[in-house]
């Protein structure tokens, strides 16, 4: 099959929903062999399970060319009602869930010699959105930005590139529920968007496709904001 990712082995976490599902679909269309991981396969915040799962899925292929860390979870609460347990849970769901799969994949990414790691920060790493109780989420996403630059530096000698995408608001099953629960939320998003529509997972997947491809061979340590211009004012 010919395509921009032809011949590449891609692992996509969080592949059952939203942006991960969008990336898995477009990568497959573009010729990659896609291994999707989600909760039913492995709890990616469990160190031993994650190490064992990557060994199991990757030993046959011997390498990973693309790792997309789209799995995440967060608790959204205002500072006065955010418990310490939920703060910690959110940092696990934003940071550990990127660290553990990336560390487990690292030997296979090295074996590729031309690998691409794609992590997700957020417009929330740059601006506060009125009506969004995103304190712990913002802290996690700032961490993803910083850790990905470090991964770029550590990966470069091994031919591993690492970049983040910072999505603006993207409609998924989870964010649709949030929009339904918070009247006026979509209008606040649209007020910040220069492109006056809400985003879809494919809007992010096409950027991920480019970062994953050899077309982006000179791109590492970068963050690409795919946010309808929301953070560019
Ligand atoms: N959707 C948006 O508006 C938006 C905006 C900015 C950033 N992001 C970021 O983009 C990434 C993808 O977001 P999304 O909206 O597609 O998320 P989502 O909630 O739609 O999907 C996340 C997936 O991760 C899986 N997952 C969660 N915990 C897991 C675990 N412990 N083990 C295995 N799988 C687990 C879930 O089951 C789910 O399928 C996340 O990092 C998110 O923070 C999303």
DSSP state of 3: S
Percentages helix, strand, coil for the chain, rounded to the nearest 5? 50, 15, 35
Number of domains in the chain: 1
**What pTM, to 2 d.p., does this model score?**
0.98
72 CB near ligand 1 (under 6 Å): yes
Q: Could you tell me the two tokens for 186? A: 């979509």
The residue with greater pLDDT, 128 or 220, is 220
Residue 115: the pLDDT is 98
183 falls within a domain: no
Q: Span 158-172, mean pLDDT?
A: 98
14 CB near ligand 1 (under 6 Å): yes
Please give the sequence-ordered ranges of beta strands (E in DSSP) within 121-207, or none if there are none. Answer: 160-167
151 falls within a domain: yes
229 falls within a domain: no
Q: How far is CA 127 from the centre of its chain?
A: 18
The parent domain of residue 29 ranges over: 9-170+200-221
In the reported structure, the alpha carbon of residue 174 is separated from the centroid of ligand 1 by a whole-number distance in angstroms of 9
The band of 142, judged by pLDDT with boundaries at 50, 70 and 90, is: very high
Q: Tens of pLDDT along 78-128? A: 999 999 999 999 999 999 999 999 999 999 999 999 999 999 999 999 999
The answer to whether 212 touches 116, Cβ cutoff 8 Å, is yes
For position 205, which CATH number holds? 3.40.50.720
Q: Span 171-185, mean pLDDT?
A: 93
């Amino acid at each position: 099959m010919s395509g921009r990712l032809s011949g590449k082995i891609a692992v996509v976490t969080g592949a059952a929903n939203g942006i991960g599902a969008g990336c898995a679909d477009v990568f497959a269309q573009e010729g990659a062999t896609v291994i999707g991981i989600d909760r039913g396969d492995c709890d990616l915040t469990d160190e031993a399970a994650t190490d064992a799962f990557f060994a199991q899925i990757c030993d046959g292929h011997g390498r990973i060319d693309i790792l997309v860390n789209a799995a995440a979870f967060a608790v959204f609460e205002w500072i006065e009602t955010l418990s310490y347990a939920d703060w910690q849970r959110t940092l696990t769901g934003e940071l550990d869930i990127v660290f553990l799969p990336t560390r487990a994949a690292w030997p296979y990414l090295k074996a590729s010699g031309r690998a691409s790691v794609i992590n997700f920060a957020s417009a929330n790493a740059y601006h506060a959105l009125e009506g969004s109780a995103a304190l712990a989420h913002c802290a996690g996403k700032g961490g993803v930005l910083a850790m990905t630059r470090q991964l770029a530096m550590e990966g470069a000698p091994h031919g591993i590139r690492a970049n983040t995408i910072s999505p603006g608001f993207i409609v998924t099953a989870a964010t649709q529920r949030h929009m339904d629960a918070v009247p006026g939320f979509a209008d606040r998003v649209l007020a910040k968007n220069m492109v006056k529509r809400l985003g879809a997972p494919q809007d992010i997947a096409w950027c991920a496709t480019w970062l994953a491809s050899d077309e982006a061979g000179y791109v590492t340590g970068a963050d690409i904001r795919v946010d309808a211009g929301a953070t560019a004012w």
